[in-house]
Amino acid sequence: MLRPLYNWTMRFAEGRHAIPAMGAISFAESSFFPIPPDVVLVPIVLANRDKAFQIAAWCTITSVLGGILGYAIGAFLYESLGQWLLGLYGYGDRFEEARAWYQQYGDWVILVKGLTPIPYKLVTITSGVFGYDFFWFVLLSLITRGARFFLIAGLLKAYGEPIRAFIEKRLELVMVLFLVILVAGFVAVKYLA
């Protein structure tokens, strides 16, 4: 069942709409969408290894722009949309705990959570809610999202063929591992973050 989906994804990753679609997903994930951009970043870089760092740059820029939307949701639309989104991701009841973390470790919250599987939209929305300094929010977002996406792109550029062969040979295992990481991110938000 996964093989046809994988084959379609790889054909799509080679197409002209792949990079704009990845940018849209990266933008949306930073403010409201549940699926991380890594899902499309990996096949697109595997299909276009010569453009790995350009793809990572585009993913970073669109993620930060989406983060700015998430910040705006937190700053201006918290009562109507932000509260609902945070609740949807299981973070609504931990508002005061998050405020304490931001007051003490604001920079580190953005830097660390931007690298992890914890949904980044939680960082962007709460940064807006708590009025975290906008300049530092954008700068730290560029650093953390860029580090994540450039690391992935760099590894795929350097080791793309063995990684692609591994994925294709063990597609089911890779999908299960991805789902475990995705669920772990949501569980971490619920119980650890």
Q: What pLDDT score was predicted for residue 193? A: 52
Q: What pLDDT score was predicted for residue 192? A: 57
| CA pair distance 155, 1, nearest whole angstrom | 28
Question: How many domains does the structure of the chain reveal?
Answer: 1
Q: What pLDDT score was predicted for residue 26? A: 95
Q: What is the mean pLDDT of each run of 10 residues along the chain (193 residues)?
A: 70 88 94 87 92 97 97 94 84 75 85 83 91 96 96 93 80 76 67 57
Q: What pLDDT score was predicted for residue 186? A: 64
SS (H, E, C) 74-134: HHHCHHHHHHHHHHHCCCHHHHHHHHHHHHHHHHHHHHHHCCCCCCHHHHHHHHHHCCCCH
Domain of 124 in residue numbering reads as 2-191
Q: What pLDDT score was predicted for residue 109? A: 86
The CA angle 21-32-62, to the nearest 5 degrees, is 40
134, burial (CB in 10 Å: exposed 0-12, middle 13-18, buried 19+): middle
Q: What pLDDT score was predicted for residue 2? A: 66
Q: What pLDDT score was predicted for residue 188? A: 65
CA neighbor of 163 nearest in space, from 35, 49, 51: 49
